[in-house]
Structure 1
Amino acid sequence: MKILFTWMVMAVSLWFLAACQDVTPGYLETDNAIYKPDTLVIRSELDDDPGEINPTYELYLGFGYSPDMIVNVLGIPERINEGEDYYRAKWGAPWTSVAIQGVLGTNPIYMEVRNITSQDGDPVKLKEYLSVGGNGAFEVPLEHDIPAGSYKITLNVHNEGYSHDLVDCFTIIVK
């Protein structure tokens, strides 16, 4: 009886050991993956009109306040009526999206652009300029020559054992 019990324990132990070899490490959940907002509008022609110097700002400069104090402490802007892209052009800031939300899994999690589609643009040209960060945020440099159009992006999210495609999860509109 003891021998039979010993053989049964050994058989069950071997069965458990054999079953453990096919387990995929970690996990990856993308069922709730979403961008909010899911669209980025990029302008080819920047509205970088510098506007005019704020008279209140100039008044405080005349009183001896530093520019940093006027803007950051008093909250008085240096310029008024400037173009929508004035500061973006001044600092060379790229066009960026929000980060993706709802992706859970074992780190490191990698993101890459799988596919770009467009009815009225040039997906190959967008792919030259488009990059995606580790948090899923898209970035396009300020200076580009991407043709106007609407582009749908499919993102691949993967880690050591898993990979998921998020089909048409984000839209970039180039005006």
Structure 2
Amino acid sequence: MRTAERIAFLARRYRLLAEREGLCSLRRSREARADYLDHAEALGYPLMDAVQVLGAGELDFICAAAVRELARPGARTEHVLRLFSWLDHERLVAIAYALPEDRRHVVQRHGVWAYAYNHAPSGMAAAVRRVAEVNAIGRVTSVGRWLLSEAETDLTTEVPA
């Protein structure tokens, strides 16, 4: 997978987790995962979104918290930008692209973030669109739900350093 697509998938994951704050419980129990899948199937969530959510690790939830805070209009963002500036540039770019377009300007105010954002891999906008298109393909169905609920492997994906 190309770097731009990997970052676009991370951005999608961070946005999903930021929009649904209650998903933190998924890391705690198999029952919470089953409840999420029931909900995802009932609402017809995209299957890829369900995979993204169930594959989230602790760092993904932390990055989603940054997205949630940076996305709030009027939020004091300097502390968040400074605290998260130690992350690798791919994660910084993913957080920036997880923000609504009208809030991405906040990352331009901090040197490390601005550098990472301005030196993002070429084709980021296209990669974000492709990820959205992939997510639109399939919905969580009883078969997809069963496959995800029975998965014994860890779905967590980490971005290599």
TM-score, L = length of structure 2:
0.26
Query: Which structure ranks higher in relative contact order (CA pairs < 8 Å, sequence separation ≥ 6)?
Result: 2
Higher fraction of helix:
2
Which has the greater radius of gyration? Answer: 1
